[in-house]
């Protein structure tokens, strides 16, 4: 445990990131047993074509956050008989607040609704939003945010989005809520602007591989809207780096 991961803010101790990481891993394991996925290989890691990342793949400073530590992916042989996820994680901090940034690789070939994994691990789900966010290339990403609470743990904010093997942004699964246009720089939903009716347009996209990027923040008390916007920006910035690294990696293992 690093000193940075245990900073006191306003006399409240932020949840220890080791505990948060364990909770995330349990959520991922639980998800394997409740959600089907396409099979693209059995052994997590390079043998399956997974991307191997290092500490330096995310910079020391990103979107105003400072990197605290890197948690490399587990030995593939150690996780092969437990779950199919292969996860690289980084702990980032800003103003005494901590979060985890992860790149998750598994056997998905279509959209993976990560929120269900947390519910399977005992988190009580609150509001779920799907934000439509354009990037610098003019592509529209679906960034999903989900609020949780859990007895003895506190509150959690999950932020995730996904891309296909060719880097295509994945469209989030429609679960009844309208998709909302979101201004990433301002950190606000654009009033009066919703995307086209997702019930009419949603379709299942399939790829040889789908890769998932997430940020998770464990907190107590109300969540400051400015902090929430900062976390979404951190997610968007880290995902772009992950996608760039994937674009360099995938042709070498797919033959494409």
pLDDT at position 135: 92
Residue 2 lies in a domain: no
Number of separate domains in the chain: 1
pLDDT at position 189: 94
DSSP state of 248: H
CB 115 within 8 A of CB 130: no
Residue 6 lies in a domain: no
Element (H, E) at 210: strand 210-219
Residue 113 lies in a domain: yes
Residue 78 lies in a domain: yes
CB 221 within 8 A of CB 206: no
- Provide the phi-psi class of 231: left if phi over 0, else alpha when psi is between -120 and 50, else beta: alpha
- pTM to 2 decimal places: 0.83
Backbone angles phi, psi at 68, to 5 degrees: -105, -50
Domain that holds residue 207: 12-254
Taking the C-alpha atoms of residue 37 and residue 108, their distance in angstroms, rounded to an integer, is 5
pLDDT at position 197: 58
Residue 1 lies in a domain: no
pLDDT at position 127: 95
Residue 185 lies in a domain: yes
pLDDT at position 167: 95
With a cut of 50, list the residues of the chain below it in pLDDT. 1-15, 29-30, 32-41
Residue 39 lies in a domain: yes
Taking the C-alpha atoms of residue 63 and residue 232, their distance in angstroms, rounded to an integer, is 10
Residue 53 lies in a domain: yes
């Amino acid at each position: 445990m690093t000193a940075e991961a245990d900073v006191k803010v306003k006399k409240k101790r932020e949840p220890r990131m080791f505990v948060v990481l364990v909770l995330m891993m349990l959520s991922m394991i639980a998800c394997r047993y409740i959600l089907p996925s396409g099979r693209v290989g059995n052994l997590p890691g390079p043998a399956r074509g997974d991307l191997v990342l290092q500490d330096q793949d995310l910079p020391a400073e990103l979107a105003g956050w400072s990197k605290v530590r890197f948690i490399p992916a587990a030995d593939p042989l150690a996780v092969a008989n437990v779950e199919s996820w292969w996860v690289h994680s980084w702990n980032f901090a800003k103003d005494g607040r901590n979060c985890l940034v992860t790149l998750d690789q598994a056997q998905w070939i279509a959209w993976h609704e990560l929120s269900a994994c947390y519910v399977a691990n005992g988190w009580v789900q609150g509001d779920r939003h799907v934000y439509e966010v354009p990037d610098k290339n003019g592509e529209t990403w679906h960034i999903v945010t989900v609020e949780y609470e859990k007895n003895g743990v506190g509150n959690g904010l999950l932020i995730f989005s996904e891309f296909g093997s060719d880097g295509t942004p994945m469209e989030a699964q429609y679960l009844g809520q309208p998709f909302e246009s979101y201004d990433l720089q301002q950190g606000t939903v654009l009033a009066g602007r919703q995307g086209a009716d997702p019930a009419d347009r949603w379709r299942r996209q399939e790829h040889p591989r789908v890769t998932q990027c997430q940020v998770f923040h464990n907190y107590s008390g109300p969540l400051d809207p400015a902090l929430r916007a900062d976390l979404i920006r951190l997610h968007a910035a880290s995902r772009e780096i992950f996608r760039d690294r994937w674009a360099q990696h995938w042709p070498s293992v797919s033959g494409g």
